[in-house]
Structures are given as C-alpha cells and as structure tokens.
Amino acid sequence: MFVTEEAVQFQLPVHETGFTPEEVEELLSYLESDEPVSPNSGSEGSSRAIYSADERKQRRMISNRESARRSRWRKKRHLENVTEEVNRLNIENQQLKNRLSVAINQCYVVWRENEQLRSESVALWAKLLDLYWTLAAMQSQ
C-alpha cells in the first residue's frame, strides 16, 4: 500500500458517509496499517480492539447522537427548501393574479367598446332603412 510518512489530514464529509469521525479514523488506521485484515477480524486473535459492553454502549450512544444530528440537519435543510418553494410559488401566484386582473380589465374595455359599436350599428341600420324608404317613396312619385 502507498502510504507516505507525512501525516495527512483530510476533511471528510462525515455527514454524507454515515460514519462517525471515530469510525472513519478507525477505518483509516486499518488502511494505513501493514497488517492484513482477515474476514474474521472480530475474533480474539486479531489486532482489532475488543470493546467492553460499556464502551460499546458509549460508542453506540455517540453514533446515535451523530445520526440524530444529521437527521435534524436534513430536516432543517428540507424545511428551508420547502419554505423557499412556498415563497417562490406565492410570488408566482401573485404575478399570475396581476396578469389575470389586467386581462379581465382589457376584456371589460373591449366588451364596452363592442357594446358601443353594436349600438352605433343598430342606429346606422335604422338610418339606412329610413333613407331606403325615403328613396323608395321619391321614386314611386
């Protein structure tokens, strides 16, 4: 294995790996050691430390706290994303309401103009009919 003599500090994204910092350090120490890791490394003959029940309980408690912290962080991030989405949708909704209001106003203006034009059309038809009857009366004389 290629291991340099200098100690290298990595900033590992522990929250993304699912491992606690202690577990990551333990894994790195296995990788840096010259001893082969056997499949039954949990046996008494291995170089792996054997933890007492209290130590296992303590490690599990720390692991659970870290897991809970990551869970709270994910929940907070999700809440922030949902809040941003709600704000964005509220703004979009207001913009659409404004556009609808403008369209309704324009529709009303066009409707009023249309009513005025219909009224003028009826008046012009009445005049045209009156002129037609006048012309017909003049021609019949």
| Cα 99 to Cα 101: distance, rounded to the nearest angstrom | 5
Contact 40, 46 (CB under 8 A): yes
Residue that has been written with the tokens 């897991």 in this structure: 67
- Percentage of the chain beyond pLDDT 90 is 60
What is the DSSP code string of 1-20? Answer: ----SS-------HHHHS--
Rounded CA-CA distance 58/120 in Å is 92
Place of tokens 């309980």: 57
The whole-model pTM stands at 0.47
Instruction: Domain ranges for the chain, please list them.
Output: 14-35+47-140
Dist CA 3 CA 6 (whole Å): 9
- Does residue 58 register a pLDDT over 80? yes
- The per-residue pLDDT for range 10-50, each reduced to its tens digit, is 554 545 556 777 777 777 776 776 655 554 544 444 445 67
